[in-house]
Structure 1
Amino acid sequence: MNVVKIRHGTSVKEDESLIEFKAITKRYPDSVALDNVDLRVESRELFVLVGPSGSGKTTLLKMVNRLVVPTTGQVLIDGEDVATSNVQTLRQHIGYVLQSSALFPNMTVMQNAAVQLEALGWAKDKIRDRINYLLQVVDLDPATYTGRKPDELSGGEAQRVGIVRALAGNPKLMLMDEPFSALDPVSKEQLQDLILRLHREVETTIIFVTHDMREAVRLADRLAVIHNGVLQQVGEPATILRQPANAFVKDFFRGIVSTHQTLAEVVAAGFGQPVTNDDATVLPLTTSIFTWAGMIQDAPATAIVAGDRRLTGADLLKYLASLRTEDRTID
């Protein structure tokens, strides 16, 4: 029997949204965008596709809602081939957030956010309640924002409205195609925090595309590295940083593990212990070791969790000692 979890305004099956890509190839007259890709995204996972521009990651993402059709291979959602699904029904159950918010310029925030609910035939009072609720979830005051037009919003605010629109119908799956790439660093970090929080609270399966390695490492439960249409490696961020499958993956993530001395480098070097069930503070792998050092200075016994490792002040000292041993300096 399916377990049903009640969310604001509707219900969803807990076991939905397992996605499988089976032997996916996409050929164009003059190129191969994807070459025999096999990949599985687990239910309620925040899964990141990362790779250089033109690697094929967005092409793969768009196959989930049939914006792109594979030349050969299958895309399955909960065991059902999307090629046999009704396109309209399929897309009604998938939230989609683009690089730009893609808001209709002549419509208010409320009208933009409610587009899918209107199409689904929701009653006006339920639409209003649902959108007001979600605006609060993404830290936009409904009293302030519902009547605004897109040209009255900042880039970060517009993307928050785009996220509300994607979440409005309680989708079992969300696709996010480089949604923060055009934003300034502060707005990008704020929206990354928001996505992490929403993922914990809503438990929707998310497939997130980016070419930003730091963003991928920060967000992903697991990530897949794609290059020239070929799947290079799949795994948890800490594992990929510590054990890159090949020279491309190693070079692609070199900026994280070498340039700025982050927790990712400490984990990649093998320090720390496997995570246990404790109350250690969780920090992103992109956190600077100097931020970590400041925490230790304030509370020497503080332990943290980064990726799949539990780290203490002793690990920081050992890591710094290893840098000296290797005749390296901190950038």
Structure 2
Amino acid sequence: MPKLVTVVGATGNQGRAPRSARPEKPSVEVVAADLDSIDSLKAAFAGSYAVYGVTGIDGLLAEHDLATVEKVEEAWGRAIAQAASETAGLRHFIWSTLPRASEISGGRYRLSNHAAKNKVDDYVRGDPGLAAKTTFLVVAQYHSNYSYGPVSIHPVPSAGAYVHFASHPPDTPVAWIGDVTRNLPPFIKPILEQPEKTRGNVVFACEEVRTSEDSLQIWARSKGVRAFHVPVSAELVCSLWGKYADVLAAMWRYWGEFGEKSWSAPGHTVLTKEDLGVTGLISLAESFRDYEI
């Protein structure tokens, strides 16, 4: 008997992944749900064996300040979690979250997108029944993020080259999932197949870790171009990109300062691709090769 897996945001980059995690071609049904309505979410989740919950802020940043964006994303995440908690027969809840940057950095970095998801983490862990069914999934950097604002790559036609303006040092360790639509499914499958290992714990979906400079040069080689890491101040980045700098550029500075610790989960077990026996991932170079910024 097929098991129903319900995916919130199934048309997004992350949302497409759980549907392709099964070896057989899944039967897909699209249903409407409103993240502002718990009743509509409960209706969408009815009969689910597992629910994959993810929230995103891309559409919110253009219209709202960061405080409002954070409140909205937290409310969406809480609604998803509450609906999952109230879904009869649910066996597994996968919640897409981010590390507790403020806690890890001793308050030096309060990243809005992390903070909103972390408040939902606390809500889930405060519900013992739901927490026992939950895998907290942390997904590393998408290859497509080189297209976004303060971490984007810019052509310099007169030099025949590209530049990456960076308020983080070139040796910053960047954890990559790469092409999330191809590299996340190999993580979802063992999450669902090894519930005794993954429920209650954190899964770190990461394909490889490279320095910022190495990552840029992998991108450049994949395109057959020259690219240069250009250091700039955090103040300049904020002047150019405003609130986008607080979401993306500050995240890269956080990685630069706290390194491997950036992706830790104080007080909780973090499972990696090695722990879950994940195979079939494509490299960062291959992810970049088919992607145009």
After TM superposition, the score normalised by the length of structure 1 is 0.28
Q: Which has the higher contact order (CA 8 A, sep 6+)?
A: 2
TM-score (norm 2): 0.31
Q: Which has the larger radius of gyration?
A: 1
Q: Which has the higher helix share?
A: 2
Instruction: From the two aligned structures, give the one with the greater strand fraction.
Output: 1
